[in-house]
Amino acid sequence: MAPEPLHLRRLTLDFQRTALMGVVNLTTDSFSDGGVNLDAPDAVRAALAHSAGALLIDLGAESTRPGATPVSATVEKTRLLPVIDALVGKLPGAAISVDTYKAEVADAVLGAGAEIINDISGGALDPEMLGVVARHGAAVVLGHLRGTPASMRQHALYSDVVAEVRAELEERVARAREAGIPSSRILVDPGLGFAKTAAHNWAILAGLAHIVSLGHAVVIGASRKSFLGELTGRTVDDREVAGAACHAVAVLHGARVLRVHDVARQRDAALVADAARGVRP
């Protein structure tokens, strides 16, 4: 059964078909495209290009890869707000999401025109986050993370990773509901690579149905990640085929949103997977 539709300003995600979330990193040190879109005009061009195949454009201004240097809320806002200002009104078929775990940043970008906050910690790293999302009437992707981006590797300890991730996401959903975010505006992300080893990531993909059973649209962010490189021996710029295979598996196991860097190629993977489960464009 599909999750409840997500009604945004200019579009509705019914989650019958797989939706793509195109990544635009306004950072110097993201693992894949750090420095590529640091200037606002470059980021705007990348977002507009993504909008040809992605329903969501996910802007991020702080790298959350292991070992990345944290940046202040002021830096994030300085990077994000000019891009959002330039994009508002120019994305009739897509909505703006912002990848941040800081409530101060969320408040600013939602006020500027973003509609979704993609929080890798699911509200755990900033206690004000969920209240800000609720006050703006926005949607939220509740990610799974233990610790912080700097410390997460030491927290990759599980007896049953699927059961524990599901239980912790369920707790995050409950806190979001208590903060006033309706169920129809909550998505969940099991956080591949965030406090997870490669083995944990594969176990989550195999057991994704248990995450889907929470009843919220499941977002998967596998694009170009290191566990695909460990498996294939491919460098970060040569993992799109592995990513497409991974995304197809995720869709067949119930994922409904794919967070991707290469929208054109990953759109094909989503179309194939949707067709295999009986859903045509």
Contact between 189 and 159 (Cβ < 8 Å): no
Contact between 164 and 192 (Cβ < 8 Å): no
- Residue 5, number of CB atoms within 10 A of its CB: 13
Catalytic residues: 225, 259
Digits of tens for pLDDT over the chain (281 positions)? 679 999 999 899 999 999 999 999 998 754 445 445 567 888 999 999 999 999 999 999 998 877 777 899 999 999 999 999 999 999 989 999 999 999 999 999 999 999 999 999 999 999 999 999 999 999 999 999 999 988 999 999 999 999 999 999 999 999 999 999 999 999 999 999 999 999 999 999 999 999 999 999 999 999 999 999 999 999 998 999 999 999 999 999 999 999 999 999 999 999 999 999 999 88
Quick one: pLDDT at residue 281? 80
- Residue 139, number of CB atoms within 10 A of its CB: 24
pTM (two decimals): 0.95
Domains of the chain: 17-275 (3.20.20.20)
Strands (E), the chain: 6-7, 12-13, 19-25, 56-60, 95-99, 116-119, 139-143, 186-189, 217-220, 257-260
Quick one: pLDDT at residue 275? 97
